[in-house]
Every structure is written in C-alpha cells, then in structure tokens.
Amino acid sequence: MIRIDAVTKRYPDGTVAVDRLSLEIPDRAITVLVGPSGCGKTTTLRMINRMVEPSEGSILLDGQDIRQQPVNTLRRSMGYVIQNAGLFQHRTILDNIATVPRLLGWSKQKARERAAELMERVGLDTALAKRYPYQLSGGQQQRVGVARALAADPPVLLMDEPFSAVDPIVRKGLQDELLRIQDELGKTIVFVTHDIDEAIKLGTMVAVLRTGGRLAQFAPPAELLSAPADPFVEDFLGADRGIRRLSFFPSAELELQTAPVVAIDAGAEKLASRGAAPYLLVTDVDGRPLGWGAPDDLTAGEIDRDRLLPYGRPFVPGTDSLRTALDGAVLSPTGWAVAVDGEGRAVGVVSQQVIGEAVRAAHTAGRPDAKAAR
Amino acid sequence: MNVLHFVNAFFSDSAHWHGYDGIPYRVVEHLQYSLEALAFAAAIGLPVGLVTGHYGRGGNVLALIATAARALPTFGLLVLLVTWLSFSTGLVMIPLVVLAIPPILVTTYEAVRSVDPSPVDAARGMGMPESRVLFQVELPVALPLILSGLRSAAIQIVSTATIAAYVSLGGLGRYIIDGLYQKNYEKVVGGATLVAGMALATLLVFWAVSRIVVSPGVRRSS
C-alpha cells in the first residue's frame, strides 16, 4: 500500500502546491486524483516516484519510506505513463517498450520478447513492432506508453493525465482497455485527471483535490455522487449526479417481459394473441429488434418495416447499468427499453415504471455494486 | 581566356600532379589541417554544448562567447599569432579552431535544449540515470541539428584553411597565394576549384554520415 502522510510541497517562491495531504492508496485498485488545475494532483503523483521531493511529510510504500531506496530503483519499480505518451522517437515501438527491462539488465532478446507480449496485452498489432512512434496515431502511441510502463511488471502504475490529449472516442477506448488490463493484472494504479467523468468511470477510489493542494473528499465514486462532502465537490461533480450514479447499479435484476416481443414472420394469429400490450417489439427472423408497432397495425396483414417506431438504444442486462436501461427507455418513443443479449438479439422489454422502481430500490438499498456497469 | 580554360589548363598539366607542390600532396595537407581543426573544435564544443544543453543553463554566456569568437578576424588572428609566436604547424590550428567552435557549441546547446521535454520526463520517471537520459534520449533526437552545426563548422574550416598558405604552411591556399603573386591565374583558379570541390565533398560526407547515424524515426519525423 502507498501511504501519503501529511505531505506538503512548498516551492521556493512560497507557492504551496500540496498542503498537508494524507491519503491511503489501496493495493490492486485504481485511485484517481482529480481536481481543477493548480490543485496539486500532478505534484502529488510525481512525489510518489520522487520526481518531486516533498517539503514536509513522508510517503510510505508497503510501510517503508520511499527515500530509503535508491531513487532509480524506486522508479523502475513503478510504471510511469504521461500525457502525449513521451515515446522515444528514435527507437522502434518494440525498443520503446523494452526500455525498463533493458535498464534492469535483461538481455536484448528477452526484453524484446517481453515487449512483444505487452503489445498484445494492450491491444496493439505486433506488426507495428518495427515502426517508429511518428508512424502511429495518438491513441496507439498512448497504448505503447502503457505497454512501456507495464514492461517490467511493476506492482505500481503512475498515470499522469494519460488520455487527455486524444479525442473522446479514442479516449473511451483507452479507458475501457485500461479497465480490462486492470481486471487481468490487478496493479496498484494512481491516476491523475482533471476530468471528473473519467475519474468516476475509472476510479475504485477518487480523491477530489481543491486549488491549493488540499483534499476535499476521498471516497468511492458512487458515494461521491450521492454524498458530496461540500459545495466545492458538488459543484465540481456537475449536473446529473443522480442519473450518473445509476451507472453503479446493475440492470441484471430488472424483470423483463417477453410477451410483447414478436418475430416479423410470426403470423397474424400470434400477433392477435398479444393484443393486451400497447405496443409490440417486432424482431427479424434472427430475433434482432426492428422497431415498435401498434398491435392493430401489425395484425392488418403484411408488416411494413418502414412504419415501425424506432426502439432507441438497447441495453444488455448484466453488462450494462441501470443508467443505460433508463436511457434506453427514455429514448424509446413507447417508453419501453429493449434488452438484448451479447449478439444483439432481443431478450425482452422493460417499462419506465419498472426501471423507476428499480431505481427507488437501489436508493433504499444504499450501497451500490461498485463493479457494475463500467 | 575564360575560367573553364584555366581550370582545364591547370588540371591537365602533369607537373601539377607530382611532388611537393603537386595536387595530391596539397589536398592531403589541406585535409589534415581541416580534420585536425574540426577535431579540436568538436572536442571543446560538443561536450560543453551537450552538458549546458542538458541542464538548460548557460545559454547567455555561450551566446556571448560565440558572438565574440565570430567577431574575431581569422586572418588577423593568424598573422598576429605568427608574428608573435613564430612559425609552427600547430599555430594555424588556433584561428581555425576559434572559427569552428561557435557553430558547434551553439547548435549543440540549442539542439539538446530544444528536445521535446516529455520523453525526457518519461525517461527520468522510468529510472534512467542522467547520463543515459543525455546519451540515449536527448542526443539521438538532437543529432540532426548537432550534425548541421558540425557541417557548417567543417565547411568554414575547409574554406578558411587556405590562409595557412599565407604564413607558409601549405595546403591548397598555396596555389592561390602563389598564383596571385606570380600572376599565374591558371594556378589561382585551379586552387580555388580544388577548395570549392573539397567543400562540396564535405557536404556529401556529412549527408552520408547523417544517413547512417540518425535514426529513421528521427529523420522522418523532423
């Protein structure tokens, strides 16, 4: 465990970047430091690998003061990922990733084998191994940055705004990839960002810092959303806290109705028998949703695909959260959300009322399932 | 009587190809002065430029020294040294080295200082010792610019080494100075052509060296 103990960083000109900060960073989890610029989050991160030395206080790694080992030994035991990746442009992708193993004295061949393994782990095509950084996109470069940090299998990973320089779609991909890698490797990750949504998405624990380097709140993201410590945190979290908190509740327990789901080739008789529902979800012969239709229109004869109402965005029960389910219901003109399986086949529908009840139940139950819904 | 005629006459005279005053001998002599001067200048300029560039300090002092050195008249310095200290082959080195240090020193400093700071930060954060940060991260990226500094120094040396002849130290300048004295324009043009050819050859050598030592990742991205 990394323990930050009453650490202060004061610069010669009197500026205080971090002010008596204490944090206990849990093992094998992602701890996000978030806050507006000038809140000392990057300084805090850089004090963990001694790129910045604290003016007061101490940082303990597994109970031992980090100043007790040689600085480069400490740094080699911590992966370091920075904004814009910071790749060495004169080295191939493979040799970039092999940097720390080479520093640790591994043979060139062993280091390269390890680097190739990591390329696959972070979702990079090994055909890129012999390329140079300038030949890669920003997102690919950042993956190389992550692979390079993981190369020597360090227990700790320090990430300083690693995804803030790429476009939102690439960023989402990188975030999902990080969560997947973390599920596999279970590193102790300290992640700095100014983006509260990123913090909520990635963090097991989130430390919100305020300008002047003071800790405002340190809590799991769902707790942050439901109970912000003060107006600063509340303001920093922004709008839609309630809706966003639903991301932490699973959709698996929603009771699905299968009766209103009919295949397009079901035949008029079968359609008539479902007449009780206000709308029917018509699927193709493979079970993939096509759209909503009123029973009267459907029984009239041949189903006109163009006249079906759009069905919004479907959710996958068990994988998606209550938020996605609610979003699907709100987007659907009928007020019903469509549930699909992993292959996109409709498995049932659920009404806004049922989702609303689940939301109320989640509130009374209090503690959200932290693992849901990422 | 045009220049080409002089050139033709100079190079086709077989007497110019043999002996103490022959072209091969003078070319080797000239090359020797130039290489020695470049080696001395690089031995001073490169380390100072690398270290100051790495720490990003001393830029103002360097600029001052460089401007002062550039203002020194090379020819005047040579004559002064010769009258002051009497002849020796080493003497011609001093003005040439003084001439070559500023471009090497200043470009090396600038080249290292302007390396993108993020890979350097990443290297330090990964636990790379300072010397490796300089030689394995900064130097390879700064190399094209450093080589361009060395190249302009080399070309200046090659063209200026002609003044060695003025104080009876040989080199290709011999032809030019003797030719002017003897009103033998064939010799003047021939000598000047050789110096120009050597300057071009220097360019070519630097181009070839940079093809070999600069990483394709740096060459293509800059």
Nearest partner of A369 among A233, A229, A221, judged by Cα: A221
Q: Can you give the pLDDT at residue A271?
A: 66
Q: Is A51 on the interface with B (CB under 8 A)?
A: yes
Cβ distance B21 to B174 under 8 Å?
yes
Q: Which residue of A has its CA nearest to B116?
A: A86
Q: What is the mean pLDDT of residues B124-140?
A: 96
Q: What distance in Å separates residue B21's CA from the closest CA in chain A?
A: 47
Residues of B in contact with A158 (CB under 8 A): 125
Residues 6 or more apart whose CB falls under 8 angstroms from that of A101 comprise A110, A111, A114, A115, A151, A152
Q: Where are the domains of chain A?
A: 2-247, 261-365
Please provide residue A308's backbone torsions phi and psi, each rounded to the nearest 5 degrees.
Answer: -70, 145
What ipTM is given for this predicted complex?
0.85
The helix (run of H) or strand (run of E) holding residue B12 is helix B3-12
Report the half-sphere exposure of A322 (CA within 13 A, side-chain side).
28
Q: Do B217 and A86 touch (CB under 8 A)?
A: no
Q: What distance in Å separates residue B94's CA from the closest CA in chain A?
A: 36
Amino acid symbol at B73:
P
Q: Can you give the pLDDT at residue B130?
A: 95
Q: Is B145 on the interface with A (CB under 8 A)?
A: no
Q: How confident is the model at residue A273 (pLDDT cuts 50, 70, 90)?
A: low
CATH of domain A2-247: 3.40.50.300
* Mean of pLDDT over chain B: 88
Does 3.90.660.10 match the CATH number of domain B3-221?
A: no
Q: Is A43 on the interface with B (CB under 8 A)?
A: no
Q: What is the mean pLDDT of residues B140-160?
A: 95
pTM of the model: 0.84
Report in angstroms the alpha-carbon separations of B87 from A119, B98, B164.
65, 18, 11
Asked if the model's pLDDT at residue A364 lies above 60, the reply is yes
Residue A168, SS3 per DSSP: helix
Q: Can you give the pLDDT at residue A200?
A: 95
* Mean of pLDDT over chain A: 90
Residue A219, SS3 per DSSP: strand
Asked if the model's pLDDT at residue A26 lies above 80, the reply is yes
Asked if the model's pLDDT at residue B127 lies above 90, the reply is yes
pLDDT in tens, B38-74: 999 999 999 999 999 999 888 888 888 888 877 778 7
Percentage of chain A exceeding pLDDT 90:
71
Interface test with A, best of B114, B126, B212, B213 (most A CBs within 10 A): B126
pLDDT in tens, A112-125: 999 999 999 999 99
Q: Can you give the pLDDT at residue A213?
A: 92
Q: Where are the domains of chain B?
A: 3-221
What fold is seen in the domain A261-365? Answer: CBS-domain (3.10.580)
Q: What is the mean pLDDT of residues A267-291?
A: 78
Q: Can you give the pLDDT at residue A367?
A: 54
Q: How confident is the model at residue A301 (pLDDT cuts 50, 70, 90)?
A: low
Residues 6 or more apart whose CB falls under 8 angstroms from that of A366 comprise none
Residues 6 or more apart whose CB falls under 8 angstroms from that of A330 comprise A312, A352
Residues of A in contact with B128 (CB under 8 A): 72, 99, 103
Residues of B in contact with A80 (CB under 8 A): 122, 125-126
Q: Is A11 on the interface with B (CB under 8 A)?
A: no
Nearest partner of A161 among A23, A43, A247, judged by Cα: A43
DSSP character for A266? S
The helix (run of H) or strand (run of E) holding residue A268 is helix A268-273
